[in-house]
Amino acid sequence: MREYHLSKSDIDAVMRRIRDRWPNHLSMSIKRPKALRIIEMDDGSIDDNSILVTDDDIILVVRDGVILPFLNMQLLGSLPSVTVDMGAVKHICNGASVMRPGIVSMDKFEKDSIVAVKDEKYGKYIAVGIATVSSDEAISMSKGVIIDNKHYIGDRFWNECKRRGMI
């Protein structure tokens, strides 16, 4: 595990990636940080299995080349979300994708959007992932993967931030 600060040009590249991928209203709410620290979970690059921490204590997760908000961030409330029944929570918190039978309600979203996942009982965020289909298509489905789970409570990113006292 390696930790270091990114250069100004690397910070600009991260901000471009956020603006290109995140919903416009959300990406514009994040100002360019003066400092950005990266915690590489594996030997590799910034594009996979990393945690980014801004000087404003915003935590981001980089998984499979996608930058996602960390699960305890208020940013999640600005993302489209799906609510899952309590029977699906255990599986999702073990890394399973969000399947159509477990979804009890959903906001409107497009395919490849970043989507937050909440539990039905408490309304707490338990995961963040990428939509494999649009919400319109998902409504008509009775089975199949709707959200590819990228970051969830209890994953290595969550545990590393907890170990460091960041959450």
User: 């159509």: which residue's tokens?
Assistant: 100
- Asked if the model's pLDDT at residue 45 lies above 70, the reply is no
Q: Cα(104)–Cα(86) distance, rounded to whole angstroms? A: 10
Q: How confident is the model at residue 42 (pLDDT cuts 50, 70, 90)?
A: confident
Q: What is the mean pLDDT of the chain?
A: 94
Q: How confident is the model at residue 36 (pLDDT cuts 50, 70, 90)?
A: very high
For a pLDDT cut of 90, what percent of the chain falls above it?
83
Q: Which CATH superfamily is domain 2-72 in?
A: Pre-PUA domain; domain 1 (3.10.450.120)
pLDDT (mean) for 149-163: 96
Instruction: Please give the single-letter amino acid code of residue 88.
Output: A
User: What are 52's two structure tokens?
Assistant: 């980014």
* 98-99 and 103-106 strand pairing: unpaired
Q: Cα(50)–Cα(65) distance, rounded to whole angstroms? A: 10
* 114-119 and 81-84 strand pairing: parallel
- Asked if the model's pLDDT at residue 132 lies above 70, the reply is yes
pLDDT score, position 139:
96
Does CATH place domain 75-152 in 2.102.10.10?
A: no
Q: How confident is the model at residue 28 (pLDDT cuts 50, 70, 90)?
A: confident
pLDDT (mean) for 134-143: 97
Q: Are 86 and 119 in contact (CB under 8 A)?
A: yes
pLDDT score, position 76:
93
Sequence ranges of the domains in the chain: 2-72, 75-152
pTM of structure:
0.93
Contacts of the segment 133-140: beta carbons below 8 A, 24+ positions apart: 134/109, 134/110, 135/80, 135/106, 135/107, 135/108, 135/109, 135/110, 136/108, 137/111, 138/100, 138/103, 138/106, 139/106
- Asked if the model's pLDDT at residue 49 lies above 70, the reply is yes
